[in-house]
Amino acid sequence: MCGIFGYVTNKEENLGPILIEAAKRLTYRGYDSVGAATINGSKIDLRKDVGKVEGVSVKYNFTEMRGSRGITQLRWATFGEPSQINAQPHIDSDGDLVGAHNGNVVNNVELRQQFIAEGMTVRSQNDGETCVHSVERYLNRGYEFIDAIRLAYGDLQGDYAFVIGRVNEDTLYAFKKGSGMVVGIGDGFTCVSSDLPSILPLTRKIVRPQDGEIVTLWSDRVEVRSVKDGKLIDRKAETVTESMDAVQKGGYPHFMLKEIHEQPQVARELLHLLDGSPEVESLVEKMKKARHLYFVACGTSYHAALIGSVYFAQIAGRPAIPVLAPQFIAQYAPAVGYEDVGVFVSQSGETKDVLNALEAAESRGMASYGLANVIGSTLTKATSFCLPLCCGYEISVPATKTFTNQVITFLYLAYRMAGRDPSTGSGRSTRELETIPKLMEATMDAIGSQVEAIAKDINKWNDMYCLGYGATYPIALEGALKLKEITYAHCEGMLSTEFKHGPLSAVSKGYPIVFVAGPNDVPLIISGVNEVKVRGARAIVIAEDDPRLRANADDVIALPKSDANISPLLGVLPLQMLSYHMSVMRGFDPDFPRNLSKTLTVD
Asked if residues 72 and 90 have their Cβ atoms less than 8 Å apart, the reply is: no
Nearest to 197 by CA among 438, 423, 5: 5
**Catalytic hit among 205, 286, 352, 598:** 598
| Paired strand residues for 40 | 43
Residue type, 281: E
| Residue 388 to residue 374: CA distance in whole angstroms | 7
Angle CA 472–478–484, to nearest 5 = 140
| Residue 364 to residue 386: CA distance in whole angstroms | 20
Asked if residues 591 and 397 have their Cβ atoms less than 8 Å apart, the reply is: yes
Other Cβ atoms less than 10 A from the Cβ of 155: the count is 18
**Catalytic hit among 2, 131, 298, 386:** 2
Please state whether 142 falls in left (phi above 0), alpha (psi between -120 and 50) or beta. left
Known active-site residue 598? yes
Nearest to 339 by CA among 388, 377, 290, 383: 290
Distance from chain centroid for Cα 457: 32
Nearest to 160 by CA among 269, 239, 249: 269
3-state secondary structure 513-550: EEEECCCCCHHHHHHHHHHHHCCCCEEEEEEECCHHHH
Known active-site residue 2? yes
Backbone φ, ψ for residue 247 (5° rounding) = -70, -45
Specify burial of residue 364 (Cβ count, 10 A radius: 0-12, 13-18, 19+): middle
- Helix (H) / strand (E) element for 222: namely strand 222-226
Pairing of strands 213-217, 172-177: antiparallel
**What positions carry a catalytic annotation?**
2, 598
